[in-house]
Amino acid sequence: MWNQPYGGKYDVESGGRPLYPMMLESPELRWSFIRKIYTIVAIQLLCTIAVGAVVVTIHPISLFFTTTGAGLALYIILIITPFIVLCPLYYYYQRHPWNYLLLGIFTLSLAFSVGLTCAFTSGKVILESVILTAAVVISLTLYTFWAAKRGHDFNFLGPFLFGALMVLMLFAIIQIFFPLGRISVMIYGCLASIIFCGYIVYDTDNLIKRYTYDQYIWAAVALYLDVINLFLSLMTVFRAADS
């Protein structure tokens, strides 16, 4: 039996199994795409860990960013850089090597921000957050692949997650101007953790079914942000509980 997606042929009986029911494209091509995405995300996470470890262990770096005027200005630039880079990345995500260069700038700037956050957090809280983040990400990823193979679809989560994210952002703005104390910080962290757990399922489902082969940069960015935001949310909860 032969199918012909995207102008190519493959033999279903040669070992390629569909990732979900009624799959019309080549499983081999989709698996290759998925491996490419997770390779990029793994490199991003390794870079984040390396940069974060340097910032945490070399104390003069964190002191420079938090005690000097130039450091504070550079810190603000590092925080807004990922958002700025997303704009040109939207136009150049198909152009090599500009897409990888912009992705590298995006990852390194975000890694510095995460590292500076970790620099003022106890090692116990960081370790707990890392372990729980890894366990949750692996579990939800495996569950999504298992559910997709059985015909479940999570595309319906998109509008609900977007609405929840807007509420979360408004809650964070309220916290800035009207701090409500440690309990509200823990509630914020718990809500954010739940929302980004949902995004991991949603984006993994899109990776399996909907992302086209030229959207590997956006797929990697989405999954990377899900993991980082889940880690930061869990760290917020543990830090508030530890204090």
Taking the C-alpha atoms of residue 116 and residue 53, their distance in angstroms, rounded to an integer, is: 10
Cα Rg of the chain (Å, integer) = 20
DSSP result, 130-158: HHHHHHHHHHHHHHHHHHHHTT---TTHH
Q: For 40-94, what is each residue's pLDDT tens digit?
A: 999 999 999 999 999 999 888 888 888 888 888 888 888 899 889 988 988 888 8
**What is the mean predicted confidence (pLDDT) over 141-150?**
95
Half-sphere exposure of 119 (CA within 13 A, CB side): 22
Q: What is the mean pLDDT of the chain?
A: 88
The model's pTM is 0.88
Q: For 98-125, what is each residue's pLDDT tens digit?
A: 899 999 999 999 999 999 989 888 889 9
Residue type, 192: A
Point out the least confidently predicted range of 37-41, 82-86, 131-135, 172-176: 172-176
What are the Cα distances from residue 9, in Å, to 12, 13, 30, 211? 10, 12, 14, 20
pLDDT score for 174: 85
